[in-house]
A and B are shown apart, each in its own frame.
Chain A
C-alpha cells in the first residue's frame, strides 16, 4: 500500500513504543516513541468508534436536545446593508398563535459586544458588531428580530410577518470600488501584513523568464451538513444563575469565555457541550444566533432552541472573503526562482481580524532570495468574513501554483521538475530548519502512481471524442500548529482508562483516533478506553481549528500520561518489581507498567490500583509549552495530481482522476485519514469548479443562500480519489503527526486549473472555472 520506506531520524535514540514521550518540542529532546512506526496500534484503520451511533441516529446533535417547556426561535434578517431601522411593526406577529416573544433592538437586554477570535485571547466571535443593541444595520442579513413561539412553524410564520422599515444609507458593497481604497491591515494572523526579503521587484525586472498574472477568487459560504444550532436553558437556584448550552461548536471553551463577557457572567456560570458536530470547517464558532437565543431565553424565562435555516447560515455566519491576487515570478533559464512577488487584496470589515491570509503557503514553499508578500484589505459593508478550511492556503495556492505552472510552460520544464528545482533547504523566511519536509518524495511517489510521465506537455494533445484530456499538478501545504492551553485528565480504573479533553469531534474522527492513541500510549486495549470531549467543563481548552487539534490533544495526553505514571510510581510498595524506577525507565505495556527492556519487571494497572488501595487514580496535566515552532519550520506538504476532460463543444469540465500524495508526518488511522484527505480534496473540487457566493454588488445581499443555487460537488462530480502518504514521522510533534484536516483542499484549485490548461490551452485565472470561461 505504501511506497515509502519509513525513515527514522538517526539523531535520536530509539525508544520502545510504550515508553513515555520525551521533550519532542526541544532541539535536544527526543521524539515521541508513539511516532516511531513500531507500535502496532498506531496507523491502523480502526473504524469510527461512534459510526454505528451516527448511522442509526443515536448520536445527538445540538438541535436534538430538549428541555422541558422549551420554545423555538426564528430570526428575521435585514434587507439593507447599511442604515437604520425606522420601525418594526411587531403587532401582527405578537398576535399570532403560539408567539411568546418578539425581540428587537427595542426590548433586547443589554448585551456587551462579544470578544473576537484573534482580537482577544478568549474570543470566539466572528466579529464585534453590536448584537441587537440599536437601530443600526451593519450588513445585509443582520438579524433584526427574533421570535419565540411554542412551535418552530409558529415562530417561522411570525418572523415572516414582521414589517420592517429602514432608512437606507450609502453602503460599500462593490468589491471593485472597495479595492481601490484598500488598506494595509494591522496584522495578518498575528504577523506583519507585508514581508520582504531581498529586492523582489528589482530581481523580477532583470529575470530572464517572467510570469506576472492576476488571479481572482470569489466569496465562499459555509455549508456544513449540520446547520448551526443550539438548545439552551438558564437556571437559577436562588443563589446563582447558570446557562446550559448544547451548541454545535468547534470551540466550547472560547464560547464560554465569550458568552461570559457578553452577559457579564463568570465563565463558571456557563456550561457548553457539543458531543457531535456535523462539520465545522472554521464556522462553528460564536455568531449572533447563540447570543440572541440566550438573550431571548432570558427575557422569556424559558429554554430555547434555535436552529438556523440554510439561509440563516448565509446571513449570520461569515464565509471566505473574495480575493484578487498578483503573482510575479522571475526565474533563470534553469528554472531557479530569482524573484517571487505575491500581493493582493481581500474583502474585509472593520469589525473582524482576519484578512484572508492568501500568502501563507508562499512563505514556505520555494527557496528564493527575493521575496515580497503583501496582503491588503478592502473594507465593505458585509457580514465579517471568517475561517474556512485552509483560510489563505486554499485560495493562495490557486494563485501561486497556477503561476508556477505558467512559468514551467514558459521555461519548457516539467512542472514537477520546476518545483523540485526550487525546493528550499531551510525555511526561506525564518532560516529555520524544517522539522520534517519530504515533499520531493511525496511528489515523485504520487507522480509514479498517477502516471504523470504520460502527460503531454503541449496543451490540447490528447482527446477522446469531443473531450480534450489534460493533466495538472500543484503543491499542497498547510502549517503545523499546537496552540497553547490544552490539558488532559486521565482516570485509570480496573476496567481501563477515561481520557478527558475539552476537544471536539466534528466528523473528522477525533474520538476514534484519540481512543486509538490513548490505548497505545497507556498500553491498554482500545475497547477499554473511554474518550470524553466536547464539554467546556473538562480540563484545558483545545480549539478544533488550524488542523491543530490532534497535536494539541496529543501533547496534553503525553503530559497526563507522565503525571499518571508518576502518581502510580509514588504509590509503589517497597518490594514492587518497579521499585526504584523513575518515569523515564518505564513503559506502558500490557495494561500495566513495565521496566524498559526488562520483561520481568512488570506490574499490571489492576495490581497497582489494588496495592494503592484505590478504585481509580485520576490525574490532570497541561501540555508542554508550544515551543517547537520557534526551533523549526513546521509544515505539511503534498502534491495534487488531476486529470480533467474539457468538452470542446460545451466547455464543460469533468474531473476524471484525482490523486493526493501527502507528507503529514505519522498517519494515525489510515481509514479516517483517507476520509479527511478525500473530503478536503472534494471541497477543493468545489472551489475549483463551482463554489461561488452571489454577493449582489448593489445591495450587499447574498442571492444564493441555498444548496440549490450555491453549488458544491455532487456524487457525479467526484471521481475515485486516490490518496497516499509518506508516513514519515515528524520527530518534533506528538505522535510524529501533523494535522491533516485542511491540507486536502490546498493545491486542488491550481491542479484543476493546470489540468484544464493542459487539456485545452485555456488558462483560467478566475475561480470558479465555469464552462463560459472555456468557450
Chain B
C-alpha cells in the first residue's frame, strides 16, 4: 500500500472543496472495497477524504418515497422498517451481499461505486483494460465464470458486483450528486457506463462529484418486490446471477413490471427489453419466456459463462411465476 493523507470531512461542501484542491483524492466510505484495492496496489490515491460520517439519515420524501443519505450503512438500510415494508426486495438484496461485518461498515454510496471483482483486474501481473486502458483483457480467454454476458465489449467482461444496486435500479432509484457546479439528480441506471473501449471509465461522475443521497420513488408494487441471488456457496459469494423483480396485474394482464439482473451485466442490469415485452401482455408462461428471450438476445456468452443464458432464463421465468402467484393471491385477498 502506498502512503496517503487522510482527511475527515465535516460536510459535503467542504469535502468537495478538498477534493478540488488535491490531485488524486478519493472519497472514502466504509473502505470495504477501496482500502482492499489500495492494499493490492490497484488503487493508490494520494488522499482519502472520509465522507462516511456525512449523510447518515433515511427520511421519507414528500412524494412518499425514501431519501437515503449516502453515508447510511448497508446494515442500517437493510434493517430500516420502512425499507422492509415498502421495498422488501432491497432489504433482501443487501442481506444477500457480503458479510455482517462488511455490511456494518459499507455505505450506500460506497456500495454503488464498488469496483469489479474480476481476478485479472485484481492481479497486477495480468492484462486489464480497466486498470490500464489499452493493456488488453486476460479475462476474455481466462477465468470468466463470474463475468458478464450483457453489455460487454472486447475490452471488458467484468460485472458490477453489487446486489444492492441491482435492487435499486429495479426500484428506479435516483442519485443525488453534488459537485463544483452544484447539485444534479440522475437515474441510477444512468450513473454507470458500459465498458466499450474505455472500461476504466465506470460512471458519469465528474472528478469531484460526490453522491450525497439515493432517492427511492414511491412504488406501491415494490411492497411485494423480491430478490433472488444464485451462487454455488450459500453465503459470502458474489452472484452468478441475481434477479430483482416486482409485478402488478390488471386482471390477467401485466400492468406494471420491474426486472433487473445482477451477475450477468457489466453494470446493474435493468431488463428494459424484457419489461417492454411483459407490459400490457397476458401474464402467462409464453409471455415470460418471450420477455427473457428478448432481453438475452443480445447476450454474448463466452466459454465459462455460457451457462448464464440458460440460468437467467430459468430463474427469471421462475421468479416471474412466483410474482404472478403472489399478485393473484394479493388480488384475491383484497
Q: Which of A466, A696, A713, A771 contacts B142 (CB 8 A)?
A: A696
**Taking the complex as formed, is A654 at the interface, i.e. its CB lies under 8 A from any CB of chain B?**
yes
Are the C-beta atoms of A704 and B307 separated by less than 8 Å?
Answer: no
Q: Is A771 in contact with B125, judged by CB distance below 8 angstroms?
A: no
- Minimum CB distance partner of B237 in chain A: A711
The majority secondary structure among interface residues of chain B is loop
Whether A698 lies near B141 (C-beta < 8 A) is yes
A771 touches B230 (CB 8 A): yes
- Give CA–CA (A684, B183) in the complex, Å: 54
* Residues of A contacting B21 in the complex (Cβ-Cβ under 8 angstroms): none
Which residue in chain B gives the minimum CB-CB distance to A774? B307
A309 to B, closest residue via Cβ: B39
Q: Residue B25 at the A interface, CB < 8 A?
A: no
CA distance A664 to B2 in the complex (A): 53
Stretch at the interface among A15-23, A153-161, A334-342: A153-161
A652 touches B307 (CB 8 A): no
A768 contacts across to B, CB distance below 8 A: 232
Partner of A771, one of B2, B120, B311: B311
B119, CB-defined interface residue at 8 Å: yes
**Min CB–CB distance B318 → chain A (angstroms):** 4
* B240 (CB) vs chain A CBs: closest residue: A771
A772 touches B125 (CB 8 A): no
- A772–B145 Cα distance when bound, in Å, is 10
Question: Within the assembled complex, what's the spacing in Å between the Cα atoms of A717 and B236?
Answer: 10
Q: Are A701 and B125 in contact (CB under 8 A)?
A: yes
Q: Identify the closest chain B residue to A649 (Cβ).
A: B318
Instruction: Check B85 for interface membership: any CB of A closer than 8 A.
Output: no
A769 nearest in chain B by CB position: B232
The answer to whether A650 and B117 touch (CB under 8 A), given A466-B318, A711-B237, is: no
Q: Are B235 and A709 touching (Cβ within 8 A)?
A: no
C-alpha spacing A770/B123, complex, angstroms: 24
Assess whether A651 is interfacial by the CB under 8 Å rule. Answer: yes
Q: How far is the CB of A32 from chain B (nearest CB, A)?
A: 44
Within 8 A of A (CB), among B208-262: 230-237, 240-241
List A residues 690-706 near B (Cβ within 8 Å).
Answer: 690, 694, 696, 698-699, 701, 703-704
A768 and B240 CA atoms in complex are apart in Å by: 15
Assess whether B315 is interfacial by the CB under 8 Å rule: yes
CA distance A622 to B315 in the complex (A): 64
Complex Cα distance, B234 from A653, in Å, reads 9
Asked if A58 CB lies within 8 Å of chain B CBs, one says no
Contact with B along A245-281 (1 / 0, CB 8 A): 0000000000000000000000000000000000000
Interchain CB contact (< 8 A) of B143 among A654, A690, A694, A711: A694
CA distance A659 to B30 in the complex (A): 41
B232 and A650 contacting across the interface, CB-CB below 8 Å: no
- Checking A79, A714, A772 against B234 with a beta-carbon cut-off of 8 angstroms, the contacting residue is A714
Residue of A79, A701, A703, A709 ringed by the most chain B CB atoms within 10 A: A703
Query: Which chain A residues border B234 with CB–CB below 8 Å?
Result: 654, 714, 716-717
Q: Say whether B120 contacts A652, CB under 8 Å.
A: no
A541, CB-defined interface residue at 8 Å: no
Known interface pairs A156-B1, A649-B315, A772-B307; A717-B143 also in contact (CB < 8 Å): no
CB of A690 within 8 A of CB of B315, answer: no
In angstroms, how far is the closest chain A Cβ from the Cβ of B1? 6
Say whether B41 faces chain A, with CB atoms less than 8 Å apart.
yes
- 8 A Cβ contacts from A48-80 to B: 79
Task: Tell me if B310 and A717 are in contact (CB < 8 A).
Answer: no
Query: Which residues does chain B contribute within 8 Å of A772, judged by CB atoms?
Result: 145, 240, 307, 311
A715 sits at the interface (CB 8 A):
yes
User: Given the known A-B contacts A466-B318, A650-B311, A772-B307, are A157 and B142 also in contact in the complex, defined by CB atoms under 8 Å?
Assistant: no
Distance of A159 Cα from B235 Cα, bound (Å): 34
In the assembled complex, B184 has its CB within 8 A of some CB on chain A: no
From residue 133 to 188 of chain B, which have CB atoms closer than 8 A to chain A? Answer: 138, 141-143, 145
Q: Does B3 contact A (CB under 8 A)?
A: yes
B7 within 8 A of A: no
A770 to B237, CA, bound (A): 13
Residue from B126, B143, B235 within 8 A of A714 (CB atoms): B235
Q: Which residues of B contact A79 (CB under 8 A)?
A: 125
Tell whether, in the assembled complex, residue B232 and residue A690 are in contact, meaning their CB atoms are under 8 Å apart.
Answer: yes
- Chain B residues with a Cβ closer than 8 Å to the other chain, count: 31
The distance from the CB of B42 to the nearest CB of chain A, in whole angstroms, is 11
Residues of B within 8 A of A696 (CB): 138, 142-143
Shortest Cβ distance from B124 into A: residue: A79
Bound form: Cα–Cα A701–B123 in Å:
10
Q: With an 8 A cutoff between CB atoms, is A378 at the interface? A: no
**Taking the complex as formed, is B22 at the interface, i.e. its CB lies under 8 A from any CB of chain A?**
no
CA A160 to CA B2, docked complex, whole Å: 9
Residues of A within 8 A of B142 (CB): 696, 698, 703
A689 within 8 A of B: yes
What is the CA–CA distance of A703 and B141 in the complex, to the nearest angstrom?
13
State whether A775 touches B236 (Cβ < 8 A): no
Chain A residues with CB below 8 A from B241, complex form: 650
With a cutoff of 8 Å between Cβ atoms, the chain B residues found around residue A654 in the complex are: 234
* Residue of A whose beta carbon sits closest to that of B141: A698
**Residues A118-168 near B (CB distance < 8 A):** 140, 153, 156-157, 160
**Residue A708 at the chain B interface, CB threshold 8 Å:** yes
The residue of chain A having its C-beta at the shortest distance from the C-beta of B234 within the complex is A716
Q: Closest residue to B314 on the A side, CB-wise?
A: A649
Most buried by A among B119, B120, B232: B232
Given the complex, which residues of A lie within 8 Å of B237, measured CB to CB?
711
* Contact of B230 with A650 in the complex, beta carbons under 8 Å: yes
A650 to B231, CA, bound (A): 9
Shortest Cβ distance from residue B132 to the other chain A in the assembled complex, whole angstroms: 15
Residues of B within 8 A of A140 (CB): 125
Q: Is the CB of A690 within 8 A of B233?
A: yes
Instruction: Give chain A nearest CB distance to B105 CB in angstroms.
Output: 15
B265-288 CB mask vs A (1 if < 8 Å, else 0) is 000000000000000000000000
A694 contacts B232, C-beta separation under 8 Å: no
Q: In angstroms, how far is the closest chain A Cβ from the Cβ of B231?
A: 7
B314 x A711 contact (CB < 8 A) = no
Query: Are A703 and B235 in contact, CB atoms less than 8 angstroms apart?
Result: no
Query: Least Cβ distance of A519 to chain B in Å?
Result: 41
Given known contacts A698-B142, A703-B142, A715 and B235 CB-to-CB distance under 8 angstroms: yes
Contact B232 A157 (CB under 8 A): no
B314 engages A650 (CB within 8 Å): yes
Q: Residues of A contacting B143 with CB < 8 Å?
A: 694, 696, 703-704
What is the distance, in angstroms, from B263's C-beta to the closest C-beta of chain A? 12
Q: Which residue of B is nearest A653, CB measured?
A: B232
| Complex contacts, B230 vs chain A, CB 8 Å | 650, 652, 771
Chain B residue at minimum C-beta to C-beta distance from A154: B3
Say yes or no: A711 contacts B1, CB within 8 Å. Answer: no
**B232:A701 contact, CB within 8 angstroms:** no
Q: How far is it, in angstroms, between the C-alpha of A704 and the C-alpha of B318 when the chains are bound?
A: 32
- Chain B residues with CB under 8 Å of chain A are 1-3, 41, 117, 119-120, 123, 125-126, 138, 141-143, 145, 230-237, 240-241, 307, 310-311, 314-315, 318
29 A–B contact pairs at CB < 8 A? A153-B1, A156-B1, A157-B3, A160-B1, A160-B2, A160-B41, A466-B318, A649-B318, A650-B315, A690-B232, A694-B119, A694-B143, A696-B138, A696-B143, A698-B141, A698-B142, A703-B120, A703-B123, A703-B142, A704-B143, A711-B233, A711-B237, A716-B234, A770-B232, A771-B311, A772-B307, A775-B310, A775-B311, A775-B314
With A650-B230, A699-B126, A701-B126 already in contact, 13 other A-B pairs whose C-beta atoms are closer than 8 Å: A157-B1, A650-B314, A652-B231, A653-B232, A696-B142, A698-B138, A699-B125, A703-B120, A703-B143, A709-B117, A716-B235, A771-B232, A772-B307
Interface residues of A (CB under 8 A from B): 79, 140, 153, 156-157, 160, 466, 649-654, 689-690, 694, 696, 698-699, 701, 703-704, 708-709, 711, 713-717, 768, 770-772, 775
Per CB-CB distance, the 9 closest pairs between chain A and chain B, nearest first, are A79-B125, A716-B234, A772-B307, A703-B119, A716-B235, A649-B318, A650-B230, A694-B143, A717-B234
